């Protein structure tokens, strides 16, 4: 069939052809994204309540008696004694009086004497070990790993980033399809209830997409700095432009941006640094009577003194104390001083302090305002993404967003199943008119902003040009047979 030249195509036909082309993009983007959107929505909604869920998870070690309380040094020694050969990494201050302190330690596996892992050891105010958890299998850590990496590591991070990129395409194309053109408000801003199930389902999908579009775009964009490819490129641009001031306090593809093993959520790398059984743990020294004490031998300041100082600062929970030789605040390199940092998810409230190991004098302080403006913008976005920027309201908005995204996914799937013919995928028909040239600027813009989207478009183009002509049955099933024949 002859394809009309551009001069022969009327403006109305051109507009209709563009609409059908964008509809196809929306269809294929949605087909790929729907399963991922459901996974990310459910895990993201759960992660919004990380503080509450972790508080519930630790409920057995809260509200303990405070009579006969021992020093933080004694609590660290109790944790190390309970796990022979353990290495002290950090001390988390109790949130309230009567709560157990959390001692984060590295241990050597009993099976072969070589395998290494991290443990969260909970020690009562009286110095008794009351609980031990594997941080890799804590509820929120598992949710975090599913949400960011699908539990399969770096490859999972790539899939999540690719899905997020196509989700942006899905939202933008959906807004184009939704855009009202002379219609009334019903079916645009709210669904029509008296026009049958088919119309209601279509309206539910379109209207929900409109209301959630802005919130979803914010979530997707604020999640990109964590992604493997986008985050690495963003870090390189920041470095090249001189936009880095201080240490980056979010991971990239699940790994610390600084390459430091002590960064947030990177327990495996921390475990790789644990010492062999029988050695003196880092940040500890042995007294003449053989007792292990928190703090290196050359430190005249004990962990008890640093914990007392940290309490007096009233930093937002959780407050982490790291010994000299451990990690600098916000995932930096090892330091010679005591580190005290607030790891609150409301990142604008984070503070990191360093204290001299011999005098206890504060030697450095890094707050949110000390960071580069680009990092502060990202910090606000991350805090919003995690539901912690302004408390419960932020969490509820996040849950509402997740529910609408799930509604969007389910309604889109049902619409496809209802209209799908037998033996074919049921994609919208390919327009006869050639209009792709008019959409090239849009494609190039999206490709420039989303590297994995650009890569996937190249793969799709190669697949369509080289493979589909050789597989006519697949072309027919995808609804591309006429398009392939015209080529």
- Residue at 133 is within a domain: yes
Look at 88-97, 172-181, 329-338, 454-463 and tell me which has the smallest mean pLDDT: 329-338
| Tokens linked to 354 | 């360093």
Domain shared by 336 and 473, yes or no: no
pTM of the model: 0.85
Domain shared by 120 and 160, yes or no: no
Per the listing, tokens 């703090």 go with 295
Domain shared by 339 and 203, yes or no: no
- What values do phi and psi take at 449, rounded to 5? -85, -25
Q: Indicate the average pLDDT of the chain.
A: 85
CA–CA distance, 40 with 35 (Å, rounded to integer): 9
Which residue among 368, 389, 423 closes a domain? Answer: 368
CB 160 within 8 A of CB 33: no
Per the listing, tokens 């019903």 go with 186
Quote the domain boundaries for residue 160. 6-47+154-224+401-486
Give the pLDDT band (50/70/90) at residue 281: very low
For the chain, the distance separating the N- and C-terminal CA atoms, rounded to the nearest angstrom, is 11
State mean pLDDT over 407-433. 86
**Which residues pair with residue 190 across a beta bridge?**
186
- Residue at 417 is within a domain: yes
* Nearest of 18, 294, 355, 32 to residue 168 by alpha carbon: 32
- Residue at 466 is within a domain: yes
Give the pLDDT band (50/70/90) at residue 399: very high
Domain shared by 39 and 99, yes or no: no
CB 35 within 8 A of CB 450: no
- Residue at 380 is within a domain: no
Domain shared by 202 and 265, yes or no: no
CB 55 within 8 A of CB 139: no
Which residue among 345, 368, 391 closes a domain? Answer: 368
Report helix angle 451-462 to 228-241, nearest 10: 130
State mean pLDDT over 406-420. 92
User: Which range has highest mean pLDDT (56-70, 330-344, 473-487)?
Assistant: 56-70
Domain count, the chain: 2
Cβ contacts of residue 168 below 8 Å, gap of 6+?
Answer: 217, 220, 221, 446, 450, 453
Domain shared by 263 and 123, yes or no: yes
CA–CA distance, 417 with 353 (Å, rounded to integer): 57
Look at 128-142, 250-264, 433-447 and tell me which has the smallest mean pLDDT: 250-264
Cβ contacts of residue 234 below 8 Å, gap of 6+?
Answer: 224, 225
* Nearest of 252, 234, 251 to residue 243 by alpha carbon: 234
One-character DSSP codes across 146-188:
HHHHTTSTHHHHHHHHHHHHHHHHHHHHHHHHH--SS--SBTT
- Residue at 74 is within a domain: yes
Domain shared by 214 and 360, yes or no: no
Domain shared by 130 and 264, yes or no: yes
CA–CA distance, 297 with 358 (Å, rounded to integer): 10
pLDDT in tens, 61-104: 999 999 999 999 999 999 999 998 899 999 999 999 999 999 99
pLDDT of residue 209: 93
Domain shared by 39 and 66, yes or no: no
Domain shared by 210 and 304, yes or no: no
Give the pLDDT band (50/70/90) at residue 308: very high
Which residue among 368, 388, 419 closes a domain? Answer: 368
CB 265 within 8 A of CB 251: yes
* Nearest of 316, 347, 317 to residue 331 by alpha carbon: 347
Q: Note every long-range contact of 150-153, with CB atoms under 8 Å and residues 24 or more positions apart, other chains counting.
A: 150/39, 153/254
- Residue at 52 is within a domain: no
CA–CA distance, 37 with 91 (Å, rounded to integer): 37
CA–CA distance, 26 with 234 (Å, rounded to integer): 27
CB 61 within 8 A of CB 99: yes
Domain shared by 131 and 163, yes or no: no
Between residues 433 and 477, which one has the greater pLDDT?
477
- Residue at 146 is within a domain: no
Domain shared by 98 and 182, yes or no: no
CA–CA distance, 223 with 401 (Å, rounded to integer): 14
- Residue at 13 is within a domain: yes
């Amino acid at each position: 069939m002859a394809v009309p030249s551009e001069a022969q195509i009327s403006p109305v036909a051109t507009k209709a052809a563009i609409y059908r082309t964008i509809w196809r993009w929306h269809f294929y983007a949605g087909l790929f994204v729907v399963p991922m959107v459901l996974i990310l929505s459910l895990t993201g909604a759960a992660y919004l309540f990380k503080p509450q869920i972790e508080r519930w998870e630790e409920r057995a070690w809260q509200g303990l008696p405070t009579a006969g309380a021992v020093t933080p040094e004694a609590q660290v020694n109790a944790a190390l004694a309970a796990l022979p050969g353990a290495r002290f990494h950090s001390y988390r201050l109790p949130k309230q009086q009567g709560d157990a302190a959390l001692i984060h330690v590295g241990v050597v596996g009993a099976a072969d004497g070589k395998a290494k892992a991290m443990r969260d050891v909970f020690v009562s105010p009286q110095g008794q070990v009351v609980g031990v958890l594997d941080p890799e299998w804590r509820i929120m850590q598992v949710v975090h790993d599913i949400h960011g990496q699908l539990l399969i590591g770096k490859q999972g991070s790539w899939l999540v980033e690719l899905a997020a990129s196509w989700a942006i395409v899905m939202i933008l194309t959906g807004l184009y399809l939704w855009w009202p053109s002379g219609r009334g408000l019903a079916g645009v801003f709210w669904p029509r209830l008296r026009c049958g199930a088919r119309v209601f389902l279509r309206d539910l999908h379109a209207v929900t997409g409109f209301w959630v579009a802005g919130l979803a775009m914010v979530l997707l964009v604020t999640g990109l700095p964590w992604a493997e490819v986008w985050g690495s490129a963003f870090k390189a641009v920041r470095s090249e432009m001189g936009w880095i001031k201080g240490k980056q306090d979010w991971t990239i593809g699940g790994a610390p941006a600084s390459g430091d093993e002590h960064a947030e959520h990177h327990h495996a790398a921390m475990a790789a640094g644990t010492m062999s059984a029988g050695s003196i743990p880092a940040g500890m020294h042995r007294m003449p009577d053989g007792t292990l004490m928190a703090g290196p031998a050359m430190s005249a300041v004990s962990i008890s003194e640093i914990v007392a100082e940290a309490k007096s600062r009233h930093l937002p929970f959780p407050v982490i104390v790291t010994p000299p030789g451990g990690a600098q605040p916000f995932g930096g390199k090892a330091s010679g001083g005591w580190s005290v940092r607030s790891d609150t998810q409301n990142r604008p409230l984070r503070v990191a302090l360093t204290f001299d190991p011999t005098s206890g004098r504060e030697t450095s302080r890094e707050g949110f305002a000390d960071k580069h403006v680009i990092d502060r913008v990202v910090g606000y976005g991350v805090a919003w993404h995690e539901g912690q920027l302004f408390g419960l309201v932020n969490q509820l908005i996040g849950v509402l967003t997740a529910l609408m995204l799930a509604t969007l996914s389910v309604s889109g799937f049902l619409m496809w199943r209802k209209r799908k013919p037998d033996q074919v995928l049921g994609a919208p028909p390919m327009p006869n008119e050639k209009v792709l040239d008019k959409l090239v600027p849009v494609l190039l813009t999206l490709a420039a902003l989303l590297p994995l989207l650009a890569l996937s478009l190249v793969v799709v183009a190669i697949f369509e040009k080289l493979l589909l002509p050789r597989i006519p049955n697949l072309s027919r099933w995808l609804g591309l047979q006429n398009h392939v024949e015209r080529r």
